[in-house]
Amino acid sequence: MRIHYAIIALAAGLSLAAAYFLWRPEGRAVSVDDAIRESWTRAAPDWQVRLVQDETQKVCSTYRNAPPKPIADAVLARERAMIQYPADGKLMGDWRKGERLAQSGYGGRFTDYPPRQENGGNCYACHQLDKTELSFGTLGPSLLDYGKNRRYADAEIRAVYERIYNPHAAIPCANMPRMGASKFLTIEQIKDLVAYVMAPDSPVNR
């Protein structure tokens, strides 16, 4: 129940300042940060580090995802420097593997620890991709015909790779997670997702 108090406060649209203190059933007041921190006390050490914000996350929290231009430019430069490209120079892999990754939400949950399979991209949580898929999120734009609409251009393929690897390198404080920079997905997995979005024979573009 500990973590639920923090989630309820945030979901209700309250700022951390307005909801700084929460009340325990025993009548003890506790800060939102402490409530979240206490809920992770039994988590593995490599999970507990997820509570520590990096420089970009701190900036985005401070400015509510709308930093002023000089700071936004610094975010772009810092995050772009983190992008790593495939050693073989090829930015597209196997779209069939990418399709499975896009549909998989495995990884990063308490039930997934210790890991028993590869992490998934969970792309359908935010995007529409395949015309036949009925269940998809709308937080991100539809990606139907994404490659076709961009004529499968090499520059567009590179842009998709970079956006998946580290979206903050394109949009400061983007909602999309940094799949590559966080090491949540491997470079090979990202190549497969790029192929799913950009390959002419992928269901996304058929």
pLDDT, tens digit (0-9, with 9 covering 90-100), for 109-149: 888 988 999 999 999 999 999 999 999 999 999 999 999 99
Residue 183 pLDDT > 70: yes
Bigger pLDDT: 14 vs 99: 99
What's the CA angle centered on 154, arms 153 and 155, to 5 degrees? 90
- Model pTM? 0.83
Mean of pLDDT over the chain: 88
Length of the chain: 206
Please give the Cα distance from 202 to 137 (Å, whole number).
Answer: 20
Three-state secondary structure readout of 134-161 = CCCCCCCCCCCCHHHHCCCCHHHHHHHH
pLDDT over 60 (residue 106): yes
Q: What are the residue ranges spanned by the domains of the chain?
A: 2-51, 56-198
Tens digits of residue pLDDT in 8-21: 333 444 444 434 55
Helices (H) and strands (E) in the chain, counts: 9, 2
Nearest one of 185, 184, 166, 182 to 53, comparing CA atoms: 182
pLDDT band at 24 (very low <50, low <70, confident <90, very high): low
One-letter amino acid for residue 157 of the chain: I
Report the pLDDT value the prediction gives residue 167, as an integer from 0 to 100: 98
| Between residues 173 and 3, the one the model is more confident about | 173
The third-level CATH classification (topology) of the domain covering 56-198 is: Cytochrome Bc1 Complex; Chain D, domain 2 (1.10.760)
